[in-house]
Amino acid sequence: MGCCGDKTGKVRKLAEIGASYVRLGTDALRITKPYKHTEERLDICRGCDDSTWMSLREYEAYLVANGITEIIENIDCLEKLPSPPKNPYSKKRRRLVCMLCKCLLRVKAGRGKNRCNAGKWDKLSE
C-alpha cells in the first residue's frame, strides 16, 4: 500500500499531492483549521528510523542523482528509489523526508487521507 492508497494511479496521486500542498498553504495562512493530527504525525516521524532531514537542494539533488528530473512524470516511481542518506536535523537541513516513500513529511502529514507507509499513523484516530 502506498501513501495515497492501494493501486493509486498517477493522476490520483498527483491530485492528492496537490491537495496536500493546498492544505499546507491554507493552514499557514490560517484560512483553514489545521488537520488535527498533523503535529502528532510529525512527532512520530521525527522519532522514526525511516525519516531523514534534508535541505530542499539536497532533496532535489537526490532525486536527480536517481534519475528523477521530472517529478510529475515519475511520481509513481519515488517509492522504488533507494533510500536517501540518514541525516540529523540542522539549520541547513530543515525538511523531514520519509526514507520509504520519499515524501516531504510536512506536506504529507497535514492531510488526513495520506497514510504512513509503515503504518505508524494508524493508531491516531481520525
* Residue 94: HSE in the Cβ half-sphere, 13 Å Cα cutoff: 2
- The pLDDT confidence band at residue 4, using thresholds 50, 70 and 90, is low
**pLDDT for res 51:** 97
- Domain membership flag for residue 53: yes
- Domain membership flag for residue 104: yes
Please compute the mean of the pLDDT values over residues 59-69 and round it to a whole number.
85
Residues 32-47: pLDDT tens digits? 677 889 999 999 999 9
Residues 7-21: pLDDT tens digits? 556 656 656 666 666
- Domain membership flag for residue 30: yes
Counted domains in the chain: 1
- Domain membership flag for residue 124: no
**What string of DSSP letters covers 25-43?**
HHHHTTSSPPPTTHHHHHH
Reported in sequence order, the residue ranges of the chain that DSSP labels E, i.e. its strands, are 51-54, 95-98
- Domain membership flag for residue 95: yes
Whole-angstrom distance, CA of residue 23 vs CA of residue 21: 5
Please give the share of the chain, as a percent, with pLDDT higher than 90: 34
Q: Decide which of 46 and 114 is more confident.
A: 46
State the pTM of this model: 0.75
Tell me if residue 51 falls in helix, strand or coil.
strand
Please compute the mean of the pLDDT values over residues 53-70 and round it to a whole number.
86
**pLDDT for res 14:** 57
- Domain membership flag for residue 5: no
Residue ranges making up the domain that contains 97: 10-109
